[in-house]
Amino acid sequence: TALVELRARFDEAANIQWARRLEESGAHVVYGVVGLKTHCKALLIVRRDTDRLRHYVHLGTGNYHPRTARSYTDFSLLTTNPKITEEVAVVFNTLTGLASYPGGEKLLVAPFDLSKRLIGFIERERDHARAGKGGRMIVKLNSLVDQEIIEKLYEASCAGVKIDLIVRGICCLRPKVPGLSENIRVVSIVGRFLEHSRIYYFENAGGPVVYLASADWMPRNFLRRVELAFPLEDPALRDEVIHQVLPRFVNDHVKARELQADGTYVRLRAPEGETPTQAQLHFREGSRRQARKLAESQKGDGIKLSPITIARKEHS
């Protein structure tokens, strides 16, 4: 079964063609939900392994599209976590009309509970700060427009929560306003690749929570689209995002511009004497190093053919 959203910006004709080809190949094609645009990116595979039936799930922040895969920056997760795979199956059943959405524990799903649960996370950081436990948030988005979310961010800032927002496009929040948002910093990164990933990080008084998502914080994402935010629960992956990925974006001094209280942007420069850091360049070079290391490790792994030898009998 394939769910194909036909309302794809500038790509409607291609999606119709792919849907027809899938149907001709025997796939059951569903064309989304009436009144909602399906914007989440999910893949569910049910496979009979040697030991049992197993569910594999791939969730991403970007489309399954060869062209955007080469020019956008995105993150994805491949997992067999039973709770996550079970909830993804529930989402697919909801989208194909087999069942209503009952809610879930792991996934945040729009238009059902994404906005409400995000507000709960922001309020929890606010309450931690008021209790003297500190509060910290880093959020990476394409756009920040939703008024209720913005007001909750202002509340958290007034309570002392330190907030870094990495918003590539539209940002209706005003940072650095005394008595309102002096604890909020907003940067926009525009580089060689289009920043498309969405990351939500909440410090949670030492019990960090990280979500990757398809959704920006806009009314259309919360109310008029089907969106998914999924947690990173593996400690190694979660720590990599918290300590290696997000700091690179926050501390970019080459392609970043910082939003001021008056609505203008100022291009950031590295402090005198320090080497400028660029997030996209860092990740690109890291990927190249990994590719070279993999290629070198496979150099001596070619298949060696051995001729078949037959013992000959000696004749006296």
- Which helix (H) or strand (E) element contains residue 58? strand 53-60
Active-site annotation holder among 28, 39, 243, 282 = 39
| Residues 73, 71: Cα–Cα separation, whole Å | 7
- In what helix (H) or strand (E) does residue 126 lie, and over which residues does it extend? helix 114-130
Please list the alpha-helical segments (H only) found in 142-215.
147-159
In sequence order, the 6+-apart residues with CB closer than 8 A to the CB of 188 are: 166, 167, 168, 169, 171, 256, 257, 259, 265
Residues 6 or more apart whose Cβ sits within 8 Å of residue 180: 154, 157, 158, 174
The answer to whether 118 and 149 are in contact (CB under 8 A) is yes
Is position 65 annotated as part of the catalytic site? no
β-pair type (136-141, 198-202): antiparallel
Residues acting as catalytic residues:
39
